[in-house]
Chain A
Amino acid sequence: QKEVEQDPGPLSVPEGAIVSLNCTYSNSAFQYFMWYRQYSRKGPELLMYTYSSGNKEDGRFTAQVDKSSKYISLFIRDSQPSDSATYLCAMEYSGGGADGLTFGKGTHLIIQP
C-alpha cells in the first residue's frame, strides 16, 4: 500500500461546478498537509497548507483535513477553465518544511467551458 493514495483521474466537470479532490494516507505520522497545482511541464505551485483537522478557506479554495480518517480534500468553488491542471496532495511528518514532502500521484482536472 502506498503511503498516499490519490485518484489520477482525469476528472472532467463543467465550468462553474464545485470540484472535490481527495487523498487518503496510511501513516498517521503525517501531520502537515498541502495542496499543489501543477500545469503541464511546470513546477508545482502551493495552493493550501494546513496542519489541523477541520477546514481552511482561501478564496475559491477550501482544504479539509480529517486526521481520524486519514483523509484530506480540496474543494474548488465556481471552477474556471484556468483551473484545469493537475492537483497534487502532499504531506510531511514534521512542520516547518524541514522534511521532504510525500506526494500523491496527482489528479488531472479538466474544467469544460
Chain B
Amino acid sequence: GAVVSQHPSRVICKSGTSVKIECRSLDFQATTMFWYRQFPKQSLMLMATSNEGSKATYEQGVEKDKFLINHASLTLSTLTVTSAHPEDSSFYICSARMVGPSTDTQYFGPGTRLTVL
C-alpha cells in the first residue's frame, strides 16, 4: 500500500512553454499533498502544500503564479510550471499525506525530471 505515482517521469521542454506534472495517490485518499523541488546535490525543498478543494499554500520565495497547483480530487494534485526557463530545470517530487489508524505520514512519488532548454 501507500503508493504514489507521478507523471511524466521525465520531460524536456523549450523555454517559455508550460509543463504539467501529475501526482496521484494510487491506493489511498490524500487530503493533503506536498510539492518539493530538488536541485543536484541539494536537499529536497518544500515548494507548496496542496489541500483538496482549496488554494495551495506556498513557501516563501516560491512564485504562486509561476507554479500553479490544483488539487481537484482526493487522489490527484497537479503542478504546472508556467513559462518555464532553464533555471526551473530540477527534480520535482510530490508526496501525499496518508492518515490511518496507526499512521499519519507522507509517502513520496518517484519524481519528475524537468529539463528546460
Least Cβ–Cβ distance between B60 and chain A, in angstroms: 12
Least Cβ–Cβ distance between A107 and chain B, in angstroms: 11
Interface contact B105-A44, CB-CB below 8 Å:
no
Question: DSSP majority for the A interface?
Answer: loop
Chain B stretch 86-109: residues in CB contact (< 8 A) with chain A: 91, 93, 95, 97-99, 104-109
Taking CB atoms, residues of chain A closer than 8 Å to B49 are 99-100
- A95 to B103 Cα, complex, angstroms: 10
Least Cβ–Cβ distance between A60 and chain B, in angstroms: 21
Interface contact B111-A42, CB-CB below 8 Å:
yes
**Number of residues in A with C-beta < 8 Å to the partner?**
25
Interface contact B113-A41, CB-CB below 8 Å:
yes
Chain A stretch 1-56: residues in CB contact (< 8 A) with chain B: 4, 6, 8, 34, 36, 41-46, 49
Give the interface segment out of B12-20, B36-44, B66-74: B36-44
Least Cβ–Cβ distance between B100 and chain A, in angstroms: 11
Query: Max chain A CB contacts within 10 Å: which of B43, B45, B49, B91?
Result: B43
- A106 to B38 Cα, complex, angstroms: 11
- A44 to B96 Cα, complex, angstroms: 12
Interface contact A105-B42, CB-CB below 8 Å:
yes
Interface contact B106-A101, CB-CB below 8 Å:
yes
Taking CB atoms, residues of chain B closer than 8 Å to A95 are 104
Does B32 sit at the interface, judged by CB under 8 A?
A: yes
Least Cβ–Cβ distance between A42 and chain B, in angstroms: 6
Q: Which of A97, A99, A100, A105 contacts B43 (CB 8 A)?
A: A105
Interface contact B105-A49, CB-CB below 8 Å:
yes
Does A87 sit at the interface, judged by CB under 8 A?
A: no
B residues whose Cβ falls under 8 Å from a Cβ of A: 4, 6, 32, 34, 36, 41-46, 49, 59, 91, 93, 95, 97-99, 104-111, 113
A residues whose Cβ falls under 8 Å from a Cβ of B: 4, 6, 8, 34, 36, 41-46, 49, 88, 95-106
